[in-house]
Amino acid sequence: MIGRLFGYVSQRVPSLLYRVSLMMKPQVVFVLGGPGAGKGTQCCKIVESYNYTHLSAGDLLREERAREGSEFGQLIANYIKEGKIVPVEITINLLKKAMEETMQKDEKKFRFLIDGFPRNEDNLQGWNTVMDGKADVKFVLFFDCGNEVCINRCLERGKSSGRSDDNRESLEKRIQTYLQSTRPIIELYEKHGKVRTVDASRSVDEVFADVKAVLDKEG
């Protein structure tokens, strides 16, 4: 009897654990930093070594801009060119949908790097309204990089990227938006001890060594 009971329990334990893991809330790391700080580059490297899904808010907006029949295409195009932050109702829906689709395809993929969001107070409020209780923000990974380095990286990329905002005029606006709107959001998280800062002005590999140290510590 006891033997049978033990067998029953030991057979069920892994499946119970598995089911608990299925009920995991999305675990989110917000990835922030100036234009060209290396957010996308580092997220791609993280995905190679850690069990994270990379969602770039900028990439999702560019996809939506290009989607045939999108009612927001023109608005997104204007905002991106001007380095302005798209109203959160648009961005949050794209992010939520991408997270849901990822988890529907594979329930074990509940860790997300949300790259380039939240960029301002409006973004943060939108996230809190829509995602409150639905996801846990673990910390902000902040790629700290001087403006000149950021601008030069984007201008260099602009030679081949085809991005409508990789030109000096748009870049100056992007930097202003970053300083005025995004830095205060990083500072807000800093006050809550939730920012992990990496010096992003060094080589890709040097930056990634620090990123790894952060992720290995945070789990």
Q: Which residues carry a binding-site annotation for CMP?
A: 123
d(CA 86, CA 78): 9
Find all residues with CB under 8 Å of 118, minimum gap 6, and list them.
30, 88, 124, 126, 127, 185
Q: Which residues are CB-contacts of 8 (< 8 A; sequence separation ≥ 6)?
A: none
Known binding positions:
36-41, 62, 84-86, 116-119, 123, 157, 163, 174, 202
Give the residue closest to ligand UP5 by C-beta.
Answer: 58
CA torsion angle 22 26 115 63 (round to 10): 70
Estimate to the nearest angstrom the gap between the alpha carbon of 24 and the chain centroid: 19
CB-wise, 88 or 110, nearer to ligand UP5? 88
CB of 18 to ligand UP5, least distance (A): 34
Per CB under 6 A, 85 contacts ligand UP5? yes
Can residue 40 be called a binding residue for Mg ion (CB under 5 A)?
Answer: yes
Closest residue to Mg ion, judged by C-beta, is: 40
Counting every residue written for the chain, the total comes to: 219
Give the residues lining the site for Mg ion (CB under 5 A). Answer: 39-40
Give the residues lining the site for ligand UP5 (CB under 6 A). Answer: 33, 35-41, 56-58, 61, 79-80, 83-86, 91, 116-117, 119, 123, 153-154, 157, 165, 174, 203-204, 207
